[in-house]
Each structure stands twice: as C-alpha cells, then as structure tokens.
Amino acid sequence: MELTSPFDFVKRSVLAVQEYTYLSFRAVTNTLRKPFYMADTIQQADLIGVGSLPIVMLTGMFTGIVLALNTSKTLEQFGSLSLTGQLVSFSMVRELGPVLTSLMVAGRNASGMASELGSMKVTEQIDAMRALGTDPYKKLVTPRVLSTVFMMFFLTIISDLVGLAGGWIISSSMLGLDSYQYWNSAYQVLKYNDVITGLVKPLVFGFIIATVGCYYGMNTKGGTQGVGRATTQAVVASSVLILAVDAVLTQLFITMR
C-alpha cells in the first residue's frame, strides 16, 4: 500500500468530491439538453431494472419472512401476535425495503457501470468519443442516472410487496393468523408520511448508485488493474453513502411529521 502524507490525502479527497459534484451536476443538467439518447436510457433501464428483479424479489421475500419469524416471538410474549402484519409492513415500507433494495442494486449495477466505463476509459474509447464531438457525460452518464432513478422506484415497490407476501406466508402457515387480519393490519398501520418516505428514499439512492458507479468508471486509471480497483471502490462507496444518506433522510422525515 502506497504511503501518502495527510496533506496529499486531503487534497485528493477534496478533488474527488469536486469531480463527483461536477459529474452529478452535468448528469442532471444534461437531461434538459438535446439529444436525449432515449434508446440508451431504455436499454439501461432494462439492464438495471429487469436484470435486478430476481435478486430484489428474493431479498424482499426472505426479509419479510425473517421479520415475521423474529417479531412473532416477541409479540407472542405480550399476547399481540396479531400485530405481526403491522411490524412487517412498517419495517419494509419505511426502511428495509428501500435500503436493502438499494444495496442489492448497488452491488450489481454500480460495479457494472464502473467496470464498463472503466474499460472504455483505459482503452481510450471515451477520448475517441470526445474527438468525434460527442459529450461522454451526455451519452454515457445521463442515461444511466435516469434509468437507475426511474427503476429504483418500481424495484422498491416490488420488494415491499414481496416482503409483505413473505410475512403473510409465515403468518398464515406457521403463526396461525387469519389472512384478512394480516393484510388489514398491514394496510392500516401505514401513514401518508411512511409511504412518502419509502418512495422518496429509493430515488435518492438510485441517483447515488448511478453517479458513484459512473464517477469511478470515468476516472479509472492503471489499465485492467485500475478497472478492478474502480469496480470495488464503486460498490463500497455507494453502499456507505446509501447508509449514511438513509440516516440523514430518516431524521429529516421524522422532524417533518
């Protein structure tokens, strides 16, 4: 591991934040300028959304199952086993659904974006694109950002529904709860603020996943080793940012109640 002075570390960190902010700004402003590259956006939406659907559904299903199993033991001690649906619903919609879905998508797609764009960077395809008069931010970054934000919204909804279904399977088959009672309690516990929180978070997380993956891909250096390094850094950075931003957003929505 290369040793660097604290001054160089701080300087590189500030530069990285500056470059990431610039990339994010360009990705947003490019949505208002022609050409729009709709074919690329639809293709990325298919790769990110449909491609991530199996792992998102499995994650949501097993999360709902585990929630129902764990909470039922505690609730049974207080004679409140009928509240299982409420706990599963509240936990999935407000917190676990958006966060776990985002982490799964980050592991699958942030790494894919970083490796794909990093390979283009080290093979000078991005430089050739600039030479031909094409804006690489417009062509490569903006479609990925738009498609990730768009698909994260629907992937989170699917994860929430599958998680509730997983909790219902455990509640009806192992806990002996009535299906109508489970779904009715799961529906009634949700407030307007809970639903808004659960639907706004994936939009922010999707933006983080796409911009971080594209940032490390567009700034890849060092050949094939650099591509592998950028892929790993993209997954780690996006996952940490998702968890950190989730804490901030949770506190923000709590104060707005």
pLDDT in tens, 165-187: 999 999 888 888 888 888 888 88
pLDDT band for 3, please (50, 70, 90 cuts): low
- Whole-prediction pTM: 0.91
Whether the CA torsion 67, 73, 78, 81 is positive or negative: it is: positive
pLDDT of 148 higher than 80: yes
pLDDT of 1 higher than 80: no
pLDDT of 215 higher than 80: yes
pLDDT of 133 higher than 70: yes
Q: DSSP for the chain, please give it.
A: -----HHHHHHHHHHHHHHHHHHHHHHHHGGGSS---HHHHHHHHIIIIIHHHHHHHHHHHHHHHHHHHHHHHHHHHTT-GGGHHHHHHHHIIIIIHHHHHHHHHIIIIIHHHHHHHHHHHHTTHHHHHHHTT--HIIIIIHHHHHHHHHHHHHHHHHHHHHHHHHHHHHHHHTS---HHHHHHHHHHT--HHHHHHHHHHHHHHHHHHHHHHHHHHHT--SHHHHHHHHHHHHHHHHHHHHHHHHHHHHHHHHHT-
Q: What is the mean pLDDT of residues 153-176?
A: 92
Both structure tokens of 149? 């934000």
Gap between the Cα atoms of 113 and 141, Å rounded: 9
Question: What is the model's pLDDT at position 20?
Answer: 93
Question: What is the model's pLDDT at position 255?
Answer: 86
Question: What is the model's pLDDT at position 174?
Answer: 85
- Asked, as a colleague might, if the bond just before 202 is cis with ω within 30 of 0, I would say no
Question: Of 7-16, 58-67, 93-102, 146-155, which gets the smallest average pLDDT?
Answer: 7-16
Top mean pLDDT of 23-32, 115-124, 206-215 is at 206-215
Average pLDDT along the chain: 90
Return the percentage of the chain with pLDDT > 90, whole number: 54
pLDDT, tens digit, 9 for 90 and up, residues 63-121? 999 999 888 888 877 777 888 888 899 899 989 999 999 999 999 999 999 999 999 99
